[in-house]
């Protein structure tokens, strides 16, 4: 008997901490912290780096790197605007790998490579593919497979582009207070500070975890488990080969 995956209903606040709101604690923060956090909700940056033609593509890519199908459409966590702001302002980590172009150039090259791969493999632009095929193309980059766009991948390291893309998506998502609600993060604790530092006990303003069964969308491959053979080696995005 084949079990059909059920789609998890969309909600305003997914996660294991229903009813919890980090922003409810804003009056306990200092003014500078409160301004920074509230800006992430009420003052999302305008698109200045990506062109009108690039915006649908980078949006589709980020929607698959960090899907939000469990959120109702009225309350998405903005990811692309913060990547756009970083690239427009040319904010970097203070170093650049010797086998990588600048971050703005790397994004434009990587997006071209993804779209060219979709055209070669499926004869369809990436934005018009279904979720399953989009994820397969992104997984090929994650796995280090070069299915097309060989001239582009000759100009930069495929795995470094993938690390940058995923890192930027995660940074944008998990710096947002709605994501903090989702994971039960207590938020800034200055000047009040945290009190219960031992035993995993929640603070008085936090709530207890309430777990539930979750399934990836039926068309997604994110639930597929593949063992990774490292040969005793572990990898990490260090700064080797930077300049």
Q: What is the pLDDT along the chain (243 residues), one digit of tens a residue?
A: 333 344 567 888 888 888 899 999 999 999 999 999 999 999 999 999 999 999 999 999 999 999 998 888 889 999 999 999 999 999 998 888 898 999 999 999 999 999 999 999 999 999 999 999 999 999 999 999 999 999 999 999 999 999 999 999 999 999 999 999 999 888 888 888 888 877 777 888 888 888 887 777 777 887 676 766 655 555 444 444 444
pLDDT tens digits, residue range 94-138?
A: 888 898 999 999 999 999 999 999 999 999 999 999 999 999 999
Helices within the chain (DSSP H only):
31-42, 55-65, 80-88, 103-122, 131-142, 150-153, 158-174, 177-183
**What's the helix, strand, coil split of the chain in %, to 5?**
40, 0, 55
pTM assigned to the model: 0.86
- Cα 52 to chain centroid distance, Å, stands at 21
Q: On the CB side of 149, how many CA atoms lie within 13 Å of its CA?
A: 25
Give the position of tokens 């207070």: 177
The percent of residues above 70 in pLDDT, for the chain, comes to 89
Domain-wise residue ranges, the chain: 1-243
Residue 52 to residue 86: CA distance in whole angstroms: 18
- Quote the pLDDT of residue 164: 96
At 161, list the tokens.
Answer: 């582009």
């Amino acid at each position: 008997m084949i079990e059909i995956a059920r789609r998890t209903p969309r909600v305003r606040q997914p996660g294991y901490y229903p009813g919890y709101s980090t922003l409810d604690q804003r009056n306990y923060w200092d003014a500078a912290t409160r301004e920074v956090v509230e800006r992430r909700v009420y003052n999302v940056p305008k698109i200045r780096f990506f062109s009108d033609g690039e915006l649908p593509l980078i949006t589709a890519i980020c929607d698959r790197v960090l899907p939000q199908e469990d959120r109702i459409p009225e309350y998405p966590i903005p990811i692309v605007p913060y990547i756009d702001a970083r690239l427009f302002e040319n904010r970097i980590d203070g170093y650049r790998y010797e086998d990588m172009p600048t971050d703005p150039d790397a994004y434009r090259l990587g997006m071209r490579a993804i779209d060219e791969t979709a055209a070669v493999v499926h004869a369809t632009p990436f934005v018009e593919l279904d979720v399953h095929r989009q994820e397969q193309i992104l997984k090929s980059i994650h796995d280090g497979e070069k299915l097309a766009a060989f001239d582009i991948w000759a100009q930069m390291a495929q795995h470094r582009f993938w690390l940058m893309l995923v890192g930027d998506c995660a940074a944008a998502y998990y710096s947002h207070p709605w994501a903090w609600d989702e994971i039960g993060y207590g938020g800034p604790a200055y000047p009040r500070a945290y009190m219960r530092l031992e035993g995993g006990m929640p603070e008085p303003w936090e709530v207890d975890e309430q777990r539930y069964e979750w399934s990836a969308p039926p068309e997604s491959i994110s639930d597929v488990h593949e063992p990774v053979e490292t040969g005793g080696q572990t990898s990490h995005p260090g700064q080797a080969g930077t300049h």
